[in-house]
Chains A and B, each alone.
Chain A
Amino acid sequence: MVESEEIRIGVYVCHCGLNIASVVDINKVIEEVSKVPNVVVAKEYQFMCSQPGQNMIIEDIKQRHLNRVVVAACSPRMHEPTFQKAVEEGGLNPYLFEMANIREHCSWVHEKEKDAATDKAIKLVNAAIAKARLLKPLNVEKVKVIPKALVIGGGIAGIRASLDIANAGFQVHLVETRPSIGGNMARLDKTFPTLDCSQCILTPLMVEVSRHPNIILRTYTDVVDISGSVGNFKVKLLKKPRYVDATKCTGCGVCVTKCPWTAPSEFELGLGKRKAIYFEFPQAVPLIPVIDPEHCMYFQKGTCRACERFCPTKAIDFNQKPEEVELEVGVIILATGYSLYDVAKTMPEYGYRKYKDVITGLELERLVSASGPTKGHIVRPSDGKEPKKVAIILCVGSRDEKHLRYCCRFGCVAGIKHAYYIVSYIPDAEVYICYRDIRTFGKGYEEFYERIRNYENVKFIRGSPMEILQDADGSLYFDVFDANTNRVVTLRPDLVVLETGVVPHTTFKELAKLLKCSIGPDGFALELHPKLRPTETSVDGVFLAGAVQGPKDIPDTVAQAGAAASSAIALMSKGYVETVPYVASINEDLCSGCGICQPLCAFDAISLVKKEDGKQVASVDISKCKGCGVCAAACPSGAAQQLGFSDDQILAMVRALTR
């Protein structure tokens, strides 16, 4: 449309049956708006939203050469899209349309004040006309979505999300920083409340991932850079060298057996040892070992090479280098999970790492596991003896103003499960659970709690230990005030199990920075809406699965992973995303490049760029802009404007209402 073209506005006032007409004097409104400059058509109709009503607009656009349309009727939240469609059918840009809300905001709320309501309706229509005069055509752009997904994190959340997406027919790159997928769930022996074996339900899924034709598994790989936006993310990965040629390795494990060098096992949380060439755990997927150069004699001193000598397929390759991989994907799922709160550093009163017999719940899982460092025997790390008295302490670091304010959401039931482990493996053991509140919200959790509570040798003490101390003979003891009996109890346990709080995984913060997605006050990823959009982030096309969003148990993690996958699938199967019409726009002649707008944008849509002539200006990435207008409200020179809600348009409405 040419700027200098004469503005020809058509105004349509709806009766909405009697909803508007019984209060507002429609004829008077028509009479008044007819006098307004640029209004060439002013009509009323019983139901503007009906087909005849819409046809009226379409015909008038064509015959009376209207180039702006105003409908005074119900709320734009109700019928704006209906009329925009009609305007488009008439041959105009759909955004050359404005609505005056004279039903919800007028006739329905001023039922007994007909004259005042009529005057107000006239004012509201005038304001809409004032804005309509200044409307400009807007565009909605379609951005293509690459039908490939990147899933970051190979725990149960990432595994479930990857399988769901892959089963829907889309390609998935599943990236895991460790040598094997499986995550924290692979460390568990049993899962509450059903006590089914964790490996038995997890490993089939791990194998399915490795065999799925649509999943490209990228273990021992880090994400180093992400750019772009929804539909077109460019991702840079760094594949760490395993020093084992994955194409030749059969996973026979001879190298591991022959390797004479050992180091503490990361998977066993330091409770057990592994070789310098190792599988992360026996059921690792992929079943390809890794050489840890820090403990390998060849890397340290240039000798040994036992693995290389004994490998039947010549798969050992000491010359492997880190490898950069570049990917283009349409959507990203963050599934980085959690790490345990570092209680050794932050809560010295519990003596974790100071006393060998103070362990975490996750470490107990390893002691119970048949494939763990003690082959499933619960023993004290200090002397290898069976503990007869075990204290389990809940909420270590959780729900504590000095530490983590939030609940870890699985510590209570995990602690109860750990009591079950102890008494079922060591029937004559006594277990004391020190708790503040028992929270058993999940399905079947309360019933599980009740079952364990009835065990004679499991006692519940309502209180947290003050400090864990050690006697001269090396035994541990602590005082705890039991709020149920109002008494201080002194316990002398053989083993103390801490159900520690959880924090976002150590890799998450850096990833959030790369993605520029928001982090909540607790350090976890901030969802777009806490209730209605729990899997979405502030960055379009980036979804959340599992504990990356906040502490979660396995059922909740799996449910959210499915939800994240379905959001990702929806985007990819549609194939494109539409940009918001009401995006910010920068008038480069007015922009001084001050940069005030940039940090205000919650969506990282604004960047400062240097133009050819060296001038710095703000630039808006419309695929990221959500159309809030925060930047425009802050721009000191008026260079930033929100299309469809520009300063001149809003000020014209203000003037029309205050005339």
Chain B
Amino acid sequence: MKHNYILNSLPYSEPFLFVDEILFVSEDAMKGAYTFEPDAYFYKGHFKGNPITPGVILTECMAQIGLVCFGIYLLNGETISEKSTFALSSTEIDFYLPVYPGEKVFVVSEKIYFRFQKLKCKVKMLNAKEEVVAKGTISGMIFKRE
């Protein structure tokens, strides 16, 4: 698979990894995908007897693909190392459709700017029917850990 190094550099693991594959990445935009596990732990409580992916988890998936994977790519050639660390600084997301257990989603992220270690992106999540599930802006800092 292409872009393996991005996935290998991710600072997440189960049960909080929400990236399966990177489909496309350039200096300006990227696209990735994730399929929600039908038996993910959060469905047990969100909601009782009516499992729907929580908005915070959709946001996390959008941030992991649209900001962290993208950030790793943009840093590559500069200073990619295991010592980089990421901090989410702001999210503003609108949600349009529910995402059910087992659904596959696509995250498309467009760079607004990447300056002084702050990456700000316009991020959109689509379902398998290409309907917009959520969209908004996410920004975060990429720090080098001492």
Determine if chain A interacts with chain B: no
B residues lining the A interface (CB < 8 Å): none
Identify the A interface with B (CB < 8 A).
Answer: none
